[in-house]
Amino acid sequence: MKITLSLIKADIGSIGGHTQPSQLMLDTVEKLARKAVTDGLLIDVFVSYTGDDIAILMSHTKSENNADVHQFAWDAFIEGTKVAKSQGLYGAGQDLLVDAPSGNVRGAGPAVAEIEFDHSLESPRPAESFMVFAADKCGPGAYNLPLFLAFADPMYCGGLMLPQMIKGFSFDVIDMDNTEGDSILKLDAPDDYYGITALLRDNERFGIDSIYSRTFEHKAASISAQRLHSIAGTYTGKDDPVALIRNQGIFPAPEEILSAFTKAHYVGGDSRGSHVMPLMPVPLNTAVTGPYCLPLVSAVGFSLNSDGYFSHSFVDFFDNPVWDEVRRLAQIKGLEMRSQGWSGPAMLPYTELEYGGFRDTVEGLLSSFKFQ
């Protein structure tokens, strides 16, 4: 049978500022999710949070972009928003940018990643394992560097030299400046290696939308890549992307996919969505409480049984002492960048400033310039 994994995430309110959702919000979303399983809409579900964003992971047989599945997630976020408002929480419903989604929630605010695949558990996929990435306080291209290195560079993924992967992977790159629809360019690695990097170096405009095996034509990864300020026309929060990554066998192994996250690479986002700071790997269900709210990313691993149910337990990849050193590196890099304050690369360029107030301030000053 064909199984679809759907991952939908949104910031719908948080305690004491942009920190974490309340337990009652999580319980409300979880209760509705379990009802969707009981009602037969979903096979299985997993609810979690990273920073102030609630993520709903779902397995089902409804295919990608299914209106009923997306409507369920939207309704769950609406109910969670009601709880946030009743508790007086900050930013209640901020990622819900329309009154009602038209068919699915893509372009309506929440981050969405989905993969449909044949789940026969036969060669070349006798077992189905996958990873769920969720990021907070960062821009849509946060995964560009680590996922490119994991699927295109044998310095980070030795598996690329094996027969099942040596033909490489195809990257669907999306131009996020195009708000009329999904503008996609398919490029192959290693053939188009330099062309891919020429695009992905710009995390604010170009992002990886999906990745495919060139040998087996299986979809390996799906990444949410959209800019909320392009949708809303003003700052409502940072884009905070999610990613679904199938692993092992014909795809890179978890340790190969995670390898490049040891860089704590710089991404756009952070406070008011307008700075440049390192991406810190954190355990699942981590609140944003650090100085200048470093961008965060969590990574969780699941297996899928023959009926499409998630494994009874999951692996929290970043909840391991080995990542403490990377977290220290991220903090050191963050402190160094913040020592530069508002100057130069410490903040995003004017064209990418997410917080509208910054642009308003500059526009007000520009009108006062005079030729001498």
Residues labelled as active-site residues:
11, 235, 238
Say if residues 31 and 38 touch (Cβ distance below 8 Å). Answer: no
- 53 by Cβ neighbours in 10 Å (0-12 / 13-18 / 19+) ranks as buried
159: three-class secondary structure by DSSP: helix
Give the relative orientation of helices 67-86 and 23-38 as an angle to the nearest 10 degrees: 150
Structure tokens, 131: 């990873």
Helix, strand and coil percent figures for the chain, each rounded to 5: 30, 25, 45
Nearest to 254, CA basis, from 189, 300, 321: 300
Segment holding 32, helix H or strand E:
helix 23-38
* Residue keyed to tokens 């049984």: 305
Structure tokens, 100: 């009602």
39: left (phi over 0), alpha (psi -120 to 50) or beta: alpha
Say if residues 207 and 196 touch (Cβ distance below 8 Å). Answer: no
Bridge-based pairing state of the strands 206-213 and 242-247 = unpaired
Structure tokens, 240: 């905070």
The CA-to-CA distance between both ends of the chain, in Å, stands at: 73
Say if residues 293 and 271 touch (Cβ distance below 8 Å). Answer: yes
195: Cβ contacts below 8 Å, ≥ 6 apart: 187
